[in-house]
């Protein structure tokens, strides 16, 4: 099974830098890694062109919660699709926390992404405080339940679920494998209540994000708990991101 590896550039890179990165990574060949680049809105179209004839997917980092209309400053799902995206990050903790995105708003976005056949990379994760107060599981279940509440026929929908504990993002701290396995059990149970027992195994790709780098990525490959990674800091330099993909490609479990 191929592992997913998504570069989340966040609010970094000019159009020129984004295109140079895309052209460079396009020359690499991986048979066990499915790559995606989550570029900023202004670079999407140019990166889509640079990625033509490659299997690397293009993701937006957000979409507006309405289909079109009076929403100054937002970018719609149709617009990212027109620019060449097949995926979108929804519910990233930086947007939940810094821009007050609620589970309700995230649910509207997930519904729109599905309506337009854009694959969501749906992010969930607890803060440090929630973890310390033993609220991790209830927070995750609530994010999943409320986030998916407006998605019709969930049982038919594929998704990438990114578990990104907020305390691990950009901090150099990572989750232990035992905790990750426990989180997977918790989210699997939440999904089985929403969409049936088989749903998680059949339709959900469970990936991890939070300080993944060249030194720790192999730790996560020793069992089949996760299907891939969402990478911020360690994806910014193309050489680093290619090295991450090579470690995954060459890992013998
Ligand atoms: P990080 O970011 O790899 O820099 O921790 C991950 C993310 O926010 O998606």
92 an active-site residue? yes
Ligand 1 neighbourhood includes 231 CB (under 6 angstroms) = yes
Ligand 1 neighbourhood includes 230 CB (under 6 angstroms) = yes
Ligand 1 neighbourhood includes 19 CB (under 6 angstroms) = no
**Per the confidence metrics, is the pTM higher than 0.85?**
yes
Q: In angstroms, rounded to a whole number, what is the distance separating the alpha carbons of residues 18 and 20? A: 6
In ligand 1, the atom with minimum distance to the C-alpha of 211 is: 5
Q: In angstroms, rounded to a whole number, what is the distance separating the alpha carbons of residues 235 and 218? A: 16
Span 103-161, pLDDT tens digits: 999 999 999 999 999 999 999 999 999 999 999 999 999 999 999 999 999 999 999 99
CB-based contact 175:19 (threshold 8 Å): no
**Position 199 confidence tier, pLDDT thresholds 50, 70, 90:** very high
pLDDT of residue 223: 86
Span 82-101, pLDDT tens digits: 999 999 999 999 999 999 99
Span 163-195, pLDDT tens digits: 999 999 999 999 999 999 999 999 999 999 999
Span 26-37, pLDDT tens digits: 999 999 999 999
**Both structure tokens of 253:** 């479990």
Which of 8, 3, 47, 10 is closest to 25 using CA atoms? Answer: 47
Ligand 1 neighbourhood includes 209 CB (under 6 angstroms) = yes
Candidates 166, 232, 240: which one to mutate for ligand 1, based on the most atoms within 8 Å of Cβ?
Answer: 232
């Amino acid at each position: 099974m191929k592992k997913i590896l998504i570069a989340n550039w966040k609010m970094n890179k000019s159009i020129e830098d984004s295109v140079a990165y895309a052209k460079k990574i396009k020359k690499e060949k991986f048979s066990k890694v499915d790559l995606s680049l989550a570029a900023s809105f202004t670079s999407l179209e140019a990166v889509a062109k640079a990625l033509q004839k490659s299997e690397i997917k293009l993701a937006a980092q957000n979409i507006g919660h309405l289909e079109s209309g009076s929403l100054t400053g937002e970018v719609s799902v149709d617009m990212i699709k027109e620019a060449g995206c097949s995926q979108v990050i929804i519910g990233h903790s930086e947007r939940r926390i810094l821009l007050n995105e609620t589970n309700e708003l995230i649910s509207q976005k997930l519904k729109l992404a599905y309506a337009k056949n854009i694959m969501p990379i749906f992010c969930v994760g607890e803060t440090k405080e929630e973890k310390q107060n033993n609220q991790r599981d209830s927070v995750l279940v609530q994010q999943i339940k409320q986030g998916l509440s407006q998605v019709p026929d969930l049982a038919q929908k594929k998704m990438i679920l990114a578990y990104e504990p907020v305390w691990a993002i950009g901090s150099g701290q990572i989750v232990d494998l035992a905790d990750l396995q426990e989180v997977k059990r918790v989210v699997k149970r939440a999904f089985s209540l929403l969409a049936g027992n088989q749903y998680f195994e059949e339709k959900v790709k469970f990936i991890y994000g939070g300080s993944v780098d060249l030194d720790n990525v192999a730790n996560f490959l020793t069992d089949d708990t996760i299907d891939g990674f969402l990478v911020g800091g360690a994806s910014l330099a193309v050489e680093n991101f290619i090295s991450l993909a090579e470690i995954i490609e060459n890992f013998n479990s």
